[in-house]
């Protein structure tokens, strides 16, 4: 009987004791740095360039297909809010469309970009289509 009680006690302790992970982090304030320079770029403005992208979203969370290359270094604010888990398909589609426009034309930047965004919403399924149009910008010199 004593042996059964010992086994039961050890089993209970084994079940109540388990692995736990603990993450301790300090709250931080956002680091906003500002860099000012006296550099100026000479940009040659060329012909009109365009780029298109689309993304499909299932249940406002799962991205189906879409592009895998994006323009970086620019914040693309989306008009669609309320997407779960911080997913903004409008911003990612804008970034992909800008990347396609710049890469296909050989431009350094898009001068005066205009985005046409259309969202087709079918409750559980969304399609976001973006077209960017602007002028080809080529940096001639930086002084």
15-50 pLDDT, tens digit each: 776 665 555 555 666 667 787 888 888 889 989 999
What was the pLDDT predicted at 92? Answer: 82
Would you kindly state where each structural domain of the chain is located, as residue ranges?
A: 41-142
What's the longest Cα–Cα distance across the chain?
Answer: 92
pTM for this predicted structure: 0.65
Q: Among positive and negative, which fits the CA dihedral 4, 8, 14, 17?
A: negative
């Amino acid at each position: 009987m004593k042996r059964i009680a010992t086994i039961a006690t050890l089993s209970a302790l084994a079940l109540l004791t388990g692995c736990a992970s603990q993450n301790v982090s300090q709250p931080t304030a956002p680091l906003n740095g500002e860099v000012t320079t006296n550099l100026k770029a000479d940009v040659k403005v060329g012909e009109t360039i365009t780029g298109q992208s689309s993304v499909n979203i299932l249940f406002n969370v799962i991205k189906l297909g879409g592009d895998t290359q994006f323009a970086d270094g620019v914040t693309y604010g989306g008009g669609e809010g309320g997407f779960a888990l911080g997913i903004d398909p409008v911003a990612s589609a804008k970034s992909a469309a800008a990347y396609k426009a710049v890469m296909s034309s050989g431009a350094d930047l898009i001068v005066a970009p205009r985005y046409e965004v259309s969202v087709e919403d079918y409750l559980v399924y969304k399609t976001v289509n973006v077209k960017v149009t602007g002028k080809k910008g080529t940096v001639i010199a930086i002084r």
